[in-house]
Structure 1
Amino acid sequence: MLRRIAPILLTLVVVALGVTALAARPQSPPARQSADYVVLVGVAGLRWDDVDAERTPTLWRLAREGSIGSLSVRSAHRPTCPVDGWLTLGAGSFAAWPGSRGGDGQCPPVDVTVEQPDGIGANLPDQESVAVHNQERLPWGTVPGALSESVRCSVAVGPGAAVAAARPFGRVDRYAPTLPADPAGLLGSCVLSIVDLGTVEGDDPAVRAAAARAADAQLARVLDGRPPRSLVIVAGVSDTQLPSRLHVAVAHGPGWEEGWLTSPSTDRRGYLQLIDLAPTALTVLGRPMPDRPFLGRPAESVDGRPADLSAAIAEPADADREAAAQRKVAGGFFTLLAVVQVALAVAVLPLLRRARRHAGPYGPKPVPRPVVATVEVLLVAAALAIPAALVAEAAPWWRFAYPAASFAGLTAVLLAAATLLVRLTPGYRATLGPLGAVAGLTMLAVGLDVVTGARLQLNGVVGYSALEGGRYAGLGTVGLGVFAAAALLSAGWLAQRVRRGWRPTVMVVVGGAAVVIVGSAYLGADSIGAIALTAGVSVAAAISAGGWLTLTRLAWAAMAGLAVTVGFAVVDLGRTPAERGSLGRFLAALGDGTGGLTVQRSSAASFDTLVNSPLTVLALAGALLVWFALLQPWGGLMRLFGIYPAIRAAMAGTAVAAVIGGLLSAAALDVAGAAAAVVVPLAALSALRVLDHSADRTQPGADRPAGGGPDGSRPDDGGPDGGGPDDGGSTGGRPGGDGPGARSSAEVATG
């Protein structure tokens, strides 16, 4: 009875850990009014490398006294051209002006029709069609002008500001085409003012410097005319060409002194999004949010900025360079990884065919040992490629003249060192030795990065980019796949070293810790990943002591993931709308009838990822190798699973977690591809070693260790319940077969 209910009890423990990890999150400070006026100043294309004490003295002083950060200007279009950026600023959600992009990646200037029928306000005749385009044809349901609709009166200076301040029907309350010589009266006529100070564009440093100097001179007039108790926010509201970049964000006013800007939408110190500016303005003014919530969240100022302004500004400028380099390097890295792993999969096939050593005088000639040893080392290196690339982010490779070559060289050195470390591990010659060493190193690398703030993932080649606007903190898609695979394989390797009855407990302890790391808002901050990993750990715990992945066990794992989802949903829906996570916001959207937009966005993102990601190739190539080679009678994986049921459990749990994680997070096969990059090479290597000993015999009276081999292989592993050779597709004990009498002495003694 205890053995029957143990998996149930252990699954409940995993569910409890998952809900606890997801429910615990930092408390957001209460929203408070901190100013009577807000002035939003936009300079399209302005980056932190355009700012210095001599060229832009006004902006330099504003940054020294206020709070600064890197601004991600994502909108509904990529790149975010100036008119898209201004429209997104006023909407508080991703928006786009129809036909605003150039065909060559260059952005046209802001060219909108602004009518002034009464000399006070203005009218945008195209605004109604723009509103229809955003609400009906784009998947965010954005309401252009939602910011202006939330205040009684707003001021716009310049055409870009008119786009941001226009109400949904096109009316701008107060408008001036250019900044007056003395703007005090205009800026003080409404609680919200939006000012367009032009564009800084191009790659010529002299041209950019002149444009930044002109914008700074106008900014000085804005500051001279600002109303009392006002908050001034300066933002580089858009890109001007491909590729996208990070831009300037400065907030200056009461309560915003000498700090870093951040927001709950990024959860990363020094980063905020363009869509955060609208809710920030309303929060500062003490105004309620619109009926259809903004996608952005109110920004805030946090401590920790260096006292030296030059050092402080160097951080966002360096982050912009890193993000720009990451975009160029990431595609090439994953494409090369996919090519190498596919080539290794092809190379392994003939080795698998000839790896089984025949006891009789006839049979194929075995592959020379040096060749097998070389392929094994290459498989270890392939499994360590992503962790090595992650650790390479600790060095500033993007600052060199040739970033791609610098990253490649650094990653190659780290990969060689990690492979050598695994090769020199005392247990390397054991069947599961490389698997345990690689899984442990991978789990350690990713786990330490997450625990210490995920610094290596942000703008990292194998992490996520702040330019994409999807994630800024915690565990990314690739990190989730790699960490889930490494955690479950580590748990399986440890579980195989203990008695069968304790294996589910080991799985739950290690897997539960991984669930907490993935799901905690303080660490991985990935609620979808925690739910998927909970299901994977439940599967692994259920079959780690023996048996296969049946529909009943799969259903039980699905119920465990569903239990975590429901538990977290109940907690998340109980929070205020501003504090809810992605799951709570989605469920709330289902309640008010807008959940279909979220489903549409997720489906589009998933399809785009499926078609364009090199990780899709990794996932499909790994699945083909496993199904058509490793799981075949000659492939060795069935025998490996029969002898080591805990490893079988770990790989089954990884597959479940990767599939669920990809489906729920709209990442298609990216999670599965990242997991396959670690699991498939290790599975092929372990299968080769099992096949190499498949014809060995345990000599009568041989000295069997009482506790089994060093990797946990024990005499009681035989039989269907224990996952012995009968579970591995035995051939009935024929000469050279895999029957119960064919248990390898090398496998018993060394694993």
Structure 2
Amino acid sequence: MKLLRRLLASVRRGDRPDSAPPSRSPRRRAWVPYALVVLAALASLAGLSVRPPTGVPGDTADYVIVAGAAGLRWDDLDPKRTPALWQEATQGSIGWLSVRSAHHATCPADGWLTLGAGNYAVWNARRVSGKCPALAPVVEQPDGIGANLPEMARVVRANADNQPYGAVPGALSESVRCTVAVGPGAAVGAARPYGRVDRYAPALPDDPQGLFTQCPLSLVDLGSITATGTARQAQVALADSTLARVLAARPQQSLVVVAGVSDTDTSSRLHVAIAEGPGWRGGWLTSAGTGRDGYLQLVDLAPTVLTTIGRPAPEGLFSGRTASSVDGRPADLAGSVLGEHDADRRSAAQRGIAGMFFTGLAAVQVALFLLVVPLMIRARRHAGPTGPASAPRLMVRSVEVLLIAAALAIPAALLTDALPWWRTGRPGIVFALLTFAVVAAGTAAVRLAPRYPRTLWPMGVIAAGAAVVVGADLLTGARLQLNGVAGYSAVEGARYSGVGSVGLGVFVAGALLVAGCAAQWVRRPWRPVVVVLVGGFAVIMVGSPYLGADPVGAIAVTAGVCVAAAISTGGWLTFPRFAWATVAGLAVTIGFAVLDLRRPALEQGSVGRFLTALGDGTAGPAIQRAAAASGLALDSPLTFLAVGGALMLAFSQFSPWGGLNRVFGLHPALRAALAGTTVAVVLAGIFGGAAFAVAGAAAAVAVPVMVLTTMRVLEHAADRTRPDGETDGPGGPGLSARHTPAPDKSGASVR
């Protein structure tokens, strides 16, 4: 409380921090910033150690029947045309199924194989264009009881040698006593690694009574839904009639899982997931792998099956997590999954627009930076008698407005996702118009504010706005980022809840820039206090399982905050400062890892799972997956945003005309904020498998406002501070107090 009163009193008095007299006991207080860094690490660790309770899986059952239909979507269901499917969905727990496999397009064979592997697998790695090939595995029946898939040995070797996921096709069937397969797709899912299917029927018998009691696990292929229009309705109706016969023959104490196990062409979609049986009556399906009510992964089905029949999962082979049922689903089935809650339709619109949005933003920002360079050169005061004339004032003010708009683009896109633009006939045009309107309103609010002439005010308010938009979204369940243009898609299967790569970059840049601006308003010894308080809050927001749910990102942000706090008082990152920052970052990392490892395996986060795999020698696939994900993420407009922003900052700092060094001299806490942001986003991209996606999103917000601040400082580079009381004619002080405040001890000034 004493510290807080001092800070508030300093701000109320309007003290110029760097012009204040030095502390009488500097050595006595020299340890305070470093102690605060350690306290922030401990507070962050406490915030990250709390995890929400996981959902409770349904009751155990004696039998599980998995009925799969490739391509089955929620908009295929109708109470009259598909009564069996509709009744199962009404009585059971439901969700959206992401059918990601090891293939860029999950075709039926890939989907069934992934289901049987409990991991991301691929049947054939050949590239698919247009529609998926028909599901036609070679099925031999030498004894009339079971079957044999001669291609299975090749498929197992291909997944082991050419894929980074460590998938073993047939791991599910190897974990149970025996399996029953009906249809070719079910044979792919039920085959053991050497190709044997224990019980096999090419089609559902006319009288299937007793079929599903032969083994604890049965897989039934309901067919593939590939057509459109009335032909598609006929295919769905056929699948529904087959399911009705399965339900009529199901044994007592059985769980029926209905799943749209794959796509049928290259346009990835979200599919049907239904679980109906003891303990699965109503509610949303979810799992620890998604962390989002109503969303499930295809790889979650295998561990769910084994948990239901009381069998242990094979160690280190499954990537999915056991599904569970949670309350909160509306009673109206159509209102749960269709209309404004149609996640499949929204995700399809998001994927088509996200690439165009970020490509356009990258092009606009690069063009804007090219326009700013000559303005910086002309704004620089030259030592000679002649030099280039200053740029027209109207042009400079227009470029300032464009820089503000560019920095607000991603936060505006997040806010636009709160509106149902994706339900319109022209979603791309509507999204563009709405985003432009939000950007225009935000730009006007910043530009027309009375405090706009103050040097750091535009940067502070834009950064605060960006951080508030992402933070408010996290506090309300990250609904704007899920299937949002500036968020992440559930179809891609990388993330379903919490903060995404784009949101992380925007939030980190906004929070640390706000900390840097706010730190300029307090005395030099207390600047680390401001950085630590704001940064510690950001770490908890990112890492808390209730909010950002990104422990890797939280560790990266902790490192960035420690670096920013260490150099916020000015000077370089000396070895003692680096050592304290490293100790604090390691404290959070090690402490959180220890706490995560103490949890049950199914409740561990990404850090705990990785360390567990590292301990038992199975971490290779995880490292390969992260590297592969980073390689794929390089081919993104966010990479161009990151590279373009880095080049612009390099020009601003190292060229004779840039002026960024002058900004850092006037406002040393900004250099700390930029350094901390750089450390955080680079580490988050490397360890999170996002490459430059996090850095690109951060650059899209931070670089335009940093360039804007540089231009404003260059504009007043020739101003001089006058002694108190002196005036420069009737206009008042010769120095614009709004732009160039009192000098620092080093000759710089801070505002």
TM bin, normalised by shorter chain, reads over 0.9
Quick check: 1:508 aligned with 2:532?
Answer: yes
**Alignment check: 8 A CA contact 1:141 1:597 kept:** yes
TM-score of the superposed pair, with normalisation by structure 1: 0.93
Mean Cα deviation higher: 709-718 or 433-442 = 709-718
Q: Distance in 2 between matches of 1:227 and 1:703?
A: 95
**Alignment check: 8 A CA contact 2:59 2:279 kept:** no
Quick check: 1:245 aligned with 2:272?
Answer: no
In structure 2, the residue matched to 1:641 is 664
In structure 1, the residue matched to 2:207 is 182
Quick check: 1:111 aligned with 2:150?
Answer: no
In structure 1, the residue matched to 2:9 is none
Letter in 2 for 1:237: V
In structure 2, the residue matched to 1:734 is none
Q: Distance in 2 between matches of 1:425 and 1:16?
A: 39
Quick check: 1:81 aligned with 2:76?
Answer: no
Deviation for aligned residue 1:263: 0.7
Q: Distance in 2 between matches of 1:223 and 1:315?
A: 29
The equivalent position to 1:27 in structure 2, one of 53, 56, 60, is 53
The equivalent position to 2:97 in structure 1, one of 59, 71, 81, is 71
- Secondary structure in structure 1 of the residue aligned to 2:30: helix
Deviation for aligned residue 1:713: 7.6
Q: Distance in 1 between matches of 2:736 and 2:620?
A: 55
TM-score of the superposed pair, with normalisation by structure 2: 0.93
Quick check: 1:163 aligned with 2:188?
Answer: yes
The equivalent position to 2:120 in structure 1, one of 67, 75, 94, is 94
Q: Distance in 1 between matches of 2:248 and 2:710?
A: 74
The equivalent position to 1:13 in structure 2, one of 23, 39, 54, is 39
Deviation for aligned residue 1:562: 2.5
Q: Distance in 1 between matches of 2:220 and 2:726?
A: 85
Q: Distance in 2 between matches of 1:174 and 1:341?
A: 61
Q: 1:542-581 maps to which residues of 2 (within 5 A)?
A: 542-550=566-574, 553-581=577-605
Deviation for aligned residue 1:32: 6.7
In structure 2, the residue matched to 1:51 is 77
What is the aligned-residue identity percentage?
Answer: 59
In structure 2, the residue matched to 1:329 is 353
Q: Distance in 2 between matches of 1:331 and 1:32?
A: 40
- Kindly provide the CA deviation profile for residues 393-424 of structure 1, in whole angstroms up to 9, marking residues without a partner as x: 00111111111111111111111111111112
Quick check: 1:271 aligned with 2:295?
Answer: yes
Q: Distance in 2 between matches of 1:709 and 1:143?
A: 70
Q: Distance in 2 between matches of 1:261 and 1:29?
A: 9
The runs of 5 or more residues in structure 1 that have no matched partner are 726-742
Q: Distance in 2 between matches of 1:712 and 1:695?
A: 12
In structure 2, the residue matched to 1:197 is 222
Deviation for aligned residue 1:30: 6.0
Q: How has the CA–CA distance of structure 1 residues 493 and 180 changed in structure 2, closer, same or farther, with 3 Å as cutoff?
A: same
Q: Distance in 1 between matches of 2:86 and 2:739?
A: 63
Q: Distance in 1 between matches of 2:445 and 2:332?
A: 41
Q: Distance in 2 between matches of 1:714 and 1:338?
A: 35
Q: 1:138-537 maps to which residues of 2 (within 5 A)?
A: 138-202=163-227, 204-314=228-338, 318-357=342-381, 362-537=386-561
Q: Distance in 1 between matches of 2:364 and 2:335?
A: 41
- Secondary structure in structure 2 of the residue aligned to 1:286: coil
In structure 1, the residue matched to 2:16 is none
In structure 2, the residue matched to 1:692 is 715
Letter in 2 for 1:679: A
CA RMSD in angstroms, aligned pairs only? 2.0
Q: Distance in 1 between matches of 2:736 and 2:388?
A: 30
Letter in 1 for 2:694: V
Q: Distance in 2 between matches of 1:240 and 1:230?
A: 29
**Alignment check: 8 A CA contact 2:56 2:324 kept:** no
Letter in 2 for 1:391: L
Q: How has the CA–CA distance of structure 1 residues 684 and 102 changed in structure 2, closer, same or farther, with 3 Å as cutoff?
A: closer
Q: Distance in 2 between matches of 1:269 and 1:178?
A: 35
Deviation for aligned residue 1:711: 8.4
Letter in 2 for 1:173: D
Quick check: 1:618 aligned with 2:641?
Answer: yes
How many residue pairs get aligned? The number is 719
**Alignment check: 8 A CA contact 1:630 1:687 kept:** no
Letter in 1 for 2:652: A
Letter in 1 for 2:50: A
**Alignment check: 8 A CA contact 2:118 2:172 kept:** yes
- Kindly provide the CA deviation profile for residues 165-195 of structure 1, in whole angstroms up to 9, marking residues without a partner as x: 1111111111111001221211111111100
Deviation for aligned residue 1:81: 0.3
Deviation for aligned residue 1:391: 0.6
Quick check: 1:135 aligned with 2:137?
Answer: no
Letter in 2 for 1:129: R
**Alignment check: 8 A CA contact 1:496 1:712 kept:** no
In structure 2, the residue matched to 1:739 is none
**Alignment check: 8 A CA contact 2:556 2:679 kept:** yes
- Secondary structure in structure 1 of the residue aligned to 2:223: strand
Q: Distance in 1 between matches of 2:598 and 2:57?
A: 18
- Secondary structure in structure 2 of the residue aligned to 1:717: coil
Deviation for aligned residue 1:565: 1.4
Q: Distance in 2 between matches of 1:711 and 1:223?
A: 76
Deviation for aligned residue 1:102: 5.6
- Secondary structure in structure 2 of the residue aligned to 1:648: helix
- Secondary structure in structure 1 of the residue aligned to 2:655: coil
- Secondary structure in structure 2 of the residue aligned to 1:184: coil
The runs of 5 or more residues in structure 2 that have no matched partner are 1-26
Q: Distance in 2 between matches of 1:334 and 1:605?
A: 19
The equivalent position to 1:701 in structure 2, one of 717, 724, 739, is 724
Q: Distance in 2 between matches of 1:392 and 1:634?
A: 38
Deviation for aligned residue 1:276: 0.4
Q: Distance in 2 between matches of 1:255 and 1:459?
A: 30
Q: How has the CA–CA distance of structure 1 residues 120 and 346 changed in structure 2, closer, same or farther, with 3 Å as cutoff?
A: same
Deviation for aligned residue 1:317: 6.4
Q: How has the CA–CA distance of structure 1 residues 29 and 457 changed in structure 2, closer, same or farther, with 3 Å as cutoff?
A: closer
**Alignment check: 8 A CA contact 1:33 1:285 kept:** no
Q: Distance in 2 between matches of 1:460 and 1:2?
A: 51
**Alignment check: 8 A CA contact 1:432 1:711 kept:** no
Mean Cα deviation higher: 219-228 or 178-187 = 178-187
Q: Distance in 2 between matches of 1:711 and 1:251?
A: 64
- Secondary structure in structure 2 of the residue aligned to 1:175: strand
**Alignment check: 8 A CA contact 1:433 1:711 kept:** no
**Alignment check: 8 A CA contact 1:496 1:711 kept:** no
The equivalent position to 1:60 in structure 2, one of 69, 86, 96, is 86
- Secondary structure in structure 2 of the residue aligned to 1:38: strand
Deviation for aligned residue 1:107: 0.6
- Kindly provide the CA deviation profile for residues 268-321 of structure 1, in whole angstroms up to 9, marking residues without a partner as x: 010000000011111111111113341000111111111112211316961101
Q: How has the CA–CA distance of structure 1 residues 652 and 102 changed in structure 2, closer, same or farther, with 3 Å as cutoff?
A: closer
Q: Distance in 2 between matches of 1:59 and 1:641?
A: 64
Mean Cα deviation higher: 483-492 or 575-584 = 575-584
Mean Cα deviation higher: 500-509 or 556-565 = 556-565
